[in-house]
Amino acid sequence: MSPGDTSGRLLLGLASIAVAFAAADTYVVVLALPDMMTSVGVEVIQLQRAAPIVSGFLLGYVAMLPLIGRIADLRGRLPVLTAALVVFALGSLVTALAYDMPSIVTGRFLQGVGGGGLVPATLALVADLYPVHRRGVPLGVVSAVQEIGSVLGPLFGALVLSIADWRAIFLINLAVGLVLAAALRSISGGRAALAGRAASEASGRSRPPDVVGGLLLLITLVAGALVFTQPPPIMEDLTWGQVFIPFAGDGRWLTPVGAVAITAAALFLARCSFARRPLVDLRGWGRSAREADLPGALLLAVALSGVILAFATADPKVQVFSDQGLWYLAGGALAAVLYVRHQRRTATPLVPHGALSATPAWGSLVVSFFIGAALIAALIDIPLFARTTIYPDSQLQAALVLVRFLVTLPVGAIVGGYLTRRVPAGVVTAVGMLLAATGFLLMSGWDITTLEHASATVPLVVGGLGFGLALAPVNAAVLATTADEVHGLSTALVVVARMVGMLVGISALTTIGLRSYYSEQGGLPTVREACDGKSRCAEFTLLLKEAGIAQEQTVFLGAAVCAVIAAVLALILFRDAATRDLAARDLLRAAG
Partner 1 sequence: MTGTAVGSRATHRRLAGMCAAAILALTACSGGDDGGSGDDGPPPEEVLTAAKTTLDETTGLNIRLTTPGLPEGVTGVAGATGVVTNAPAFEGDIEVVLAGTTFKVPVVSVKGKVWAELPGTTVFQDIDPADYNAPDPAGFISGETGFPSLLPATTDVAEGKSVRGGEGNKEVLTTYTGTVPGDVMKNVIPSAAGDSFEATYQIANDEQLREATFVGVFYPDSEEMTYTVSFDDYGTEKAISKP
Site for partner 1, rule CB under 8 A: 34, 38, 41, 43-45, 96-97, 160, 163-168, 171-172, 174-176, 179, 218-219, 222-223, 225-226, 229-242, 244-246, 250, 317, 388, 392-393, 518, 522-524, 526-528, 534-536, 540-541, 543-545, 547-548
Distance of closest approach, residue 24 Cβ to partner 1, in angstroms: 13
Helix axes 359-388, 47-75, angle to 10 degrees: 130
Among residues 175 and 337, whose Cβ is nearest to partner 1? 175
Among residues 44 and 458, whose Cβ is nearest to partner 1? 44
Distance of closest approach, residue 166 Cβ to partner 1, in angstroms: 7
Among residues 353 and 534, whose Cβ is nearest to partner 1? 534
Distance of closest approach, residue 180 Cβ to partner 1, in angstroms: 11
DSSP state of 426: H
Buried b vs exposed e over 161-187: b needs ≥16 C-beta within 10 Å?
beeeebbebbbbbbebbbebbebbbeb
- Using alpha carbons, select from 466, 474, 489 the residue that is nearest to residue 364: 474
Distance of closest approach, residue 33 Cβ to partner 1, in angstroms: 12
The letter for the amino acid at 222 is V
Distance of closest approach, residue 486 Cβ to partner 1, in angstroms: 39
Rg (the chain; Cα; Å) = 25
Q: Long-range CB contacts (< 8 A, 24+ apart) of 35-43?
A: 35/161, 35/165, 35/166, 36/104, 36/166, 39/98, 39/166, 40/98, 40/99, 40/100, 40/101, 40/104, 41/100, 41/101, 42/101
Distance of closest approach, residue 102 Cβ to partner 1, in angstroms: 18
From the number of C-beta atoms within 10 Å of its C-beta (0-12, 13-18, 19+), residue 43 rates as exposed
DSSP state of 281: -
Distance of closest approach, residue 201 Cβ to partner 1, in angstroms: 29
Round to the nearest angstrom and report the end-to-end CA distance of the chain: 25
Distance of closest approach, residue 11 Cβ to partner 1, in angstroms: 20
**How many CB atoms are located within 10 Å of the residue 160 CB?**
21
Among residues 388 and 408, whose Cβ is nearest to partner 1? 388
Among residues 225 and 267, whose Cβ is nearest to partner 1? 225
Among residues 162 and 273, whose Cβ is nearest to partner 1? 162
DSSP state of 246: -
- Using alpha carbons, select from 502, 67, 591, 27 the residue that is nearest to residue 296: 67
Distance of closest approach, residue 225 Cβ to partner 1, in angstroms: 4
Helices (H), 164-210: 166-188, 199-203
Among residues 267 and 298, whose Cβ is nearest to partner 1? 267
CA–CA distances in Å: residue 198 to residues 75, 129, 186, 285, 517? 5, 17, 17, 11, 56
Q: Is the separation of the CB atoms in 182 and 6 below 8 Å? A: no
Contacts of 201 (CB under 8 A, 6+ apart): 75, 76, 79, 195, 281, 284
Among residues 161 and 567, whose Cβ is nearest to partner 1? 161
Among residues 135 and 545, whose Cβ is nearest to partner 1? 545
